[in-house]
Amino acid sequence: MTADDVRRPDLLVLVCGTGTEVGKTWVAAETMRLLRARGTKVSARKLAQSFAPGEAPTDAEALGEAGGEAPETVCPPHRWYETPMAPPMAADLLGRPTFTVSELVRELIWPGQVAVGLVETAGGVCSPQADDGDATDVARALQPDLVVLVADAGLGTINAVRLALSALGSRRCVVLLNRYNPSNELHARNRRWLVTRDGVDVVCSATELVERLQL
């Protein structure tokens, strides 16, 4: 089964990051809250999640709260791995079965006709998502309408964004500089460089991202 065999949302958005802890889940959750406030039917899915025992909320819980769905709907319970490593590494450590990108994609089920569906990956763009692939392989399998690349706004931003966009290839991407402070000179210069030198489509808040979705 491919992504085309699964009922797709009207707009399928893949949420990736330049690394771990850049705020992918917060961005996805806030975007959903804003869309729901506009009356847009939105849903999120986490292909697999790994976390430290006792950590709260998990990504699935945060996304579920924002979208009005159960965490177990956002991420199937058998894809919850209770150790903070890349999901396939966590599965191996816990003695659980290996899995592939195609298996993760086949497990995506959307609740009826969804206007905007967000799929969040784990870690950075080149972080393992399954035994046989990273987020670029997920993008290849899903063929999303848009990739949102979440990045920090400070030191290292330009390098991290360039490397991630290069790995993603020619897909339509929007870069969201999370925790952006317009009064911070470095943040402002990073944004300006990416836009004017690299021609990157950059937004600095979930509100701006919603506007990019043209809803």
Which sequence positions are flagged as catalytic?
Answer: 46
The SS3 assignment for 210 reads: helix
Ordered DSSP codes for 91-139: HHHTTPPP--HHHHHHT----SS-SEEEEE-SSSTTSEEETTEEHHHHH
Ordered DSSP codes for 37-90: HTT--EEEEES-EE--TT-SS-HHHHHHHHHTS-HHHHS-GGGEESSSS-HHHH
Give the closest residue to 156 by CA, choosing from 27, 21, 18, 25: 18
Contact of 156 with 131, CB cutoff 8 Å: no
Rounded distance between C-alpha atoms, residue 94 and residue 148, angstroms = 31
Q: Which two tokens stand for residue 95?
A: 């003695």
